[in-house]
Amino acid sequence: MTVSGGWRRQAAAGAVLCALAVLRWHTALFDLRLAVDEVDYTRAFAAVDAGGDPYEVERFLYPPPFALAGAAAERAFGERSVVLFLRAANLLGAIAVVWISLGWSRCSWRARVLLGSLLVAVWAPIHQSVAYGNISLAVLGATFVGLGLLEARPLTAGATLGLGLAMKPLAPASVALLPFWRPASGTRPAAKWIAFAAAASTLGVALLWGGALLPRMLDRTATRLPEARSLSLGRLLQCAGLDLPPLLLLVLAVAAGAWLLQLRARPVAGFAVLATTAALYASPLVWTHTLALSLPAQVIAFERLTGAWRRAPAGSPDRRRHGLVLMALGACALAIQGSEALAAIDGGPPLAQALFIAPVVLSPALFAFVALRRGADEPGSFGLAATVGQ
């Protein structure tokens, strides 16, 4: 296929998914009422505009650049326009997460459009992000674009990753793991260093903009992190009686990811699975919308295992084993899909909470394990980089 043809197919898929997203979520997109998280955002922006402290807003935990940019945008365009922009950015981010994750598989273009449409319409992480007005999917969209461009445009990739962290630090582990990545054949070894330098520079410049507020953010996040509804590894360990500091969880997740990356060279798809899974386990706060980080591992795990099941002879032990693992992966996907309902267990006995959230917390690790088995992360279709010549 020609380069222009490849981009035409990408544009056509994007148009289909955008139209579907607007049809499916039009009520939330154009609702005049502010969603739960949008109330916190607009209060924080107003506080900055009045010369106050955005971190006096109870649930505002975002870096200073987001507060400053939001306040400046509201002064220029008004609150309503800013809210509409954030909602649109969130839907575009959701589409980017879905389309790029599917692009790291060998699915055909038609299969990607069909699966992407299903995810955009009914996937729980998208539903929660849209319903709450939370910008997580806009930030994760930037993160996935950055990961998808690591091969072809490392400078742009790093800048995009750094910008995402400056708005909301959902995936710092992904950037921290870049120096440990051993790119597979065909990927420029210098790409990881270019991307890492660009990410660090972009994040540094962004934080300098709000440097005066940075101590307040660090104090706020160190003392009053909400645990309710969180589906993080930290909460699971805490319910089981082991309370680890968030910084230690980050260090452990990066160390585990670095060790796995050093075992052998990996293409971008393999790095993306490890980076997003490590980011998920490093995060002190994980809600259903944060579980969108597990999508690359889910897509590749299902694709690889389905292929192995189909290739195994009928009635063979291998086919039965693959079938059992496929059922386990299906149960994990359903656990993630139903994770919003786990809010009902908040306040219950700690061990009961641990029992209920454990399947959701441990599911991404199982997906990553299956996706990253030797031979499972061979180069296939790698997101944005694959639009050329696909």
Please write down the HEC assignment for all residues of 37-74: HHHHHHHHHHHHHCCCCHHHCCCCCCCHHHHHHHHHHH
Bridge partners, 183 (sequence order): 266
Q: What is the pTM of this model?
A: 0.91
Helices and strands (H and E) in the chain: how many: 17, 0
For the residues 353-377, what does the mean pLDDT come to? 87
What are 278's two structure tokens? 């490590």
pLDDT at 355: 92
pLDDT at 178: 95
311-342 exposure pattern, b = at least 16 Cβ within 10 A, e = fewer: ebeeeeeebeebeebbeebeebbebbbebbeb
Run of H or E including 201: helix 190-209
pLDDT at 386: 37
pLDDT at 385: 36
Would the pLDDT of 41 be above 70? yes
Question: Who's near 185: CB < 8 A, 6+ residues apart?
Answer: 265
pLDDT at 298: 96
Alpha carbon distance 9, 69 (integer Å)? 34
pLDDT at 228: 65
In the structure, what pLDDT confidence band is assigned to residue 108 with cuts at 50, 70 and 90? confident
Alpha carbon distance 274, 223 (integer Å)? 30
pLDDT at 225: 64
pLDDT at 227: 63
Would the pLDDT of 214 be above 90? no
Bridge partners, 28 (sequence order): none
As a whole-number percent, the residues of the chain with pLDDT over 90 amount to 68
- Mean confidence (pLDDT) of the chain: 89
Alpha carbon distance 350, 56 (integer Å)? 30
For the residues 23-32, what does the mean pLDDT come to? 94
pLDDT at 6: 74
- pLDDT tens string 251-277: 999 999 999 999 989 999 999 999 999
Alpha carbon distance 73, 78 (integer Å)? 7
For the residues 205-231, what does the mean pLDDT come to? 80
Alpha carbon distance 201, 182 (integer Å)? 22
Would the pLDDT of 123 be above 90? yes
In the structure, what pLDDT confidence band is assigned to residue 4 with cuts at 50, 70 and 90? very low
For the residues 136-142, what does the mean pLDDT come to? 96
Alpha carbon distance 148, 154 (integer Å)? 9
What are 44's two structure tokens? 């924080």
Would the pLDDT of 52 be above 60? yes
